[in-house]
Structure 1
Amino acid sequence: MSQRLKIYFASDQHLGAPTQEKSFPREKKFVAWLDEVKKDADAIFLLGDLFDFWFEYKTVVPKGFVRVLGKLAEIRDSGTPIYFFVGNHDLWMHDYFEKELNIPVYHKPKEFTFNDKVFLIGHGDGLGPGDKGYKRMKKVFTNPFSKWLFRWLHPDLGVKLAQYLSVKNKLISGDADVRFLGEDNEWLVLYSKRKLKTKHYDYFVFGHRHLPMTIDLGQNSTYINLGDWIGYFTYGVFDGEKFELKEYKN
C-alpha cells in the first residue's frame, strides 16, 4: 500500500430495483462516487448486492448496468485493486467479473490486513444465529442442481421471474422498517463477537443490513455495517489509522 493509504468500502446498491429506469439515478450517483474515490483509492471493496439480481448463463449476463461496469473496468485497468463479495441478490455470480474485469469474486467472508490492522470482510447474509429459513433457502439457491435447472429457463423468462421475486423483498420495495435491533439481536454483531473468541480482528466490515452502524465490540475491535445506496448512500473509508462511515451527498 502507498503512503496515501485510502481503502474504500460500499455495499447494497441494488441496481435494477425496483426497475431499471427508477434505479438509473442511483447508478449514476454510484458511478460519480467511483469517479471521485478513484483519485486516491489504494483499493475498493464492494460488499455485495451491487445488482438486485444477477445470474450468469454460460454465454449471457443480465442486460444493462453498462455505466457501472465500464467504470469498474476503467478503475481496475488503471491498476487499482477492486474486490467483490457476492450478496444474497447476486449470489449466482460466477467468473464474469474475474474474466472480463479482472476483479476477484468472493463467496464467503475473507480476512485482509492493512497497516497491521486485521479486517474480516463480507456481505453478511446467513451469518450468526437465527435466520434459519434464509439459510435453508440459500443452500437451495447455491446448489449446483438448482442453478442447472434455472439455467434451462430462457433468460427473458428467468430474469423477469427473478426480478419480480426480488422486488417483493421489502428492503428493496421501500416499505421495510429497517431499524437497529440492539446488540443482543443484531446477528452480525453476535457473529463478530463469537469470532473474537478465537482470533482478534480490528474491524468487521459487512453490508446486508441496509443500516449504517458502527459498534464498539471491546478488545479494540469494531463492527461496521456500510448501510446502502437506496436511502443512505453511505460508504466506508480506512485511511491507515481509522475507519469512518461517510455519506455521499453529490
Structure 2
Amino acid sequence: MSNSIFISDTHLGLQGERAEACKIRRFEELADLVVRQEVTAVYMLGDILDYWMEFRHVIPRYFSAFLCILRDLSRHDVELHWFSGNHDFALGRFFTDEFGVRCWYGMQELTLDGKRFYLGHGDGLDSSDIGYRLFVSLIRNRFNQKLLSALQPDLAVGIMRGFSRMSRKRNPAPSNEESDFLLQYADALVRQKDFDYFVCGHSHALKQTTLCNGRSRYINLGTWIDGTFPYGMFHNGEFSLQEL
C-alpha cells in the first residue's frame, strides 16, 4: 500500500508577508511529513499559487522558497501531480522539466491502490457559465501565453496578477452555493460512474461526506488562506482529512 497526500487552494502570493511566511513554514512541515512517512505521491489540486507566469530564461522570485520545497520532494522520488486551478492556470513546462511534476487540466479519473478517484480543482464544471469558459479559453491559449512571456518580466507578471484578480472578482468569496454545486455535481456523477472518492477544492469549504449511493465519498480540501492548514491523506485504502 502507498501513501498519498492531497492539498488545494493554498494561494501562495495572495496575502501579506506574515501570512505568506506562515504558509511556507507549513509547506516545509508537510514536506518533512512526506519524507518521514515515506509518502509516495503528492496531489496538488489547484490554486497552489495565486498566479504564475512562465518565461524561457527568468524564474519569478516570489515563489523561490516553494520551488526549493518542490526540488527537495523530487529528490526524494516523490510523485508530484499538479491540477491546474483558476489561478495557477498557466503551468507550462517548467514544473515538469525542472521537478518532474505531472500537470493535469480538468477533472481526471485515477486509480490509487485499487480505489477509483475523481480528482481536480473543481472549477469550470458548470456548463452554463459561459463567461468563465471564455475566460479560461483566453488565459490558457498557448499563443496568448507566448505573447505574455515575450514581454518584460515585471510587466508580464503584473498582467498575470491582474488575471488572478479577475478570477477572484468572478468568485469573490467562498459561498454555500458554490460548495453545494460541487457536491451536487459529484452526486450526479456517481449515478453515472462507479468511483470511491471525488476530491476537489475551489470553494474553500472543507468538507467530507457520503454521496447519494451511500458508499462513495465527497471531499473538499478547503483552503490555507484562513489560518488553517488542512490536507488529505490516503493511507491503507482509506481517505482522511488532517491538519498541520
The TM-score with structure 1 as length reference comes to: 0.86
- Give me the identity figure in percent: 32
Q: What are the superposed Cα offsets for residues 50-105 of structure 1, whole Å, 9 maximum, x if unpaired?
A: 11110112222322322221122212211221211111111111111111001111
Q: In the TM superposition, what are the counterparts of 1:121-160 in structure 2 within 5 Å?
A: 121-160=119-158
1:17 counterpart residue number = 14
Q: Which amino acid aligns with 1:159?
A: V
8 A Cα contact 1:123 1:208, kept in partner? yes
Of residues 28, 33, 46, the one that matches 2:30 is 33
Distance in structure 2 (CA, Å) of the matches to 1:92 and 1:223 = 27
Q: 1 or 2, which has the higher helix percentage? A: 2
Q: What are the superposed Cα offsets for residues 211-232 of structure 1, whole Å, 9 maximum, x if unpaired?
A: 1111311221111110011113
Which shifted more, 234-243 or 199-208?
234-243
Of residues 222, 225, 232, the one that matches 2:220 is 225
Cα RMSD over matched residues? 2.4
Any unmatched runs of 5+ in structure 2?
none
Any unmatched runs of 5+ in structure 1?
none
Corresponding position: 1:198 with 2:195? no
8 A Cα contact 1:91 1:142, kept in partner? yes
Deviation at 1:186, TM superposition (A): 2.4
Q: Are residues 177 and 124 of structure 1, via their aligned partners in 2, closer, same or farther at CA, if it must alter by over 3 Å? A: closer
Corresponding position: 1:238 with 2:234? yes
Q: Secondary structure at the match of 2:233?
A: strand
Which shifted more, 119-128 or 16-25?
16-25
Which shifted more, 137-146 or 84-93?
137-146
Distance in structure 1 (CA, Å) of the matches to 2:86 and 2:108 = 16
In the alignment of these two chains, the number of paired residues is: 240
Deviation at 1:19, TM superposition (A): 4.8
Distance in structure 2 (CA, Å) of the matches to 1:206 and 1:90 = 15
Which shifted more, 191-200 or 72-81?
191-200
The TM-score with structure 2 as length reference comes to: 0.87
Deviation at 1:37, TM superposition (A): 2.9
1:44 counterpart residue number = 42
Distance in structure 2 (CA, Å) of the matches to 1:170 and 1:206 = 18
Q: What are the superposed Cα offsets for residues 154-207 of structure 1, whole Å, 9 maximum, x if unpaired?
A: 111121233255357658xxx95534338xx72322332332233211001111
Q: In the TM superposition, what are the counterparts of 1:39-78 in structure 2 within 5 Å?
A: 39-40=36-37, 41-78=39-76
8 A Cα contact 1:54 1:61, kept in partner? no
8 A Cα contact 1:83 1:105, kept in partner? yes
Distance in structure 2 (CA, Å) of the matches to 1:90 and 1:192 = 23
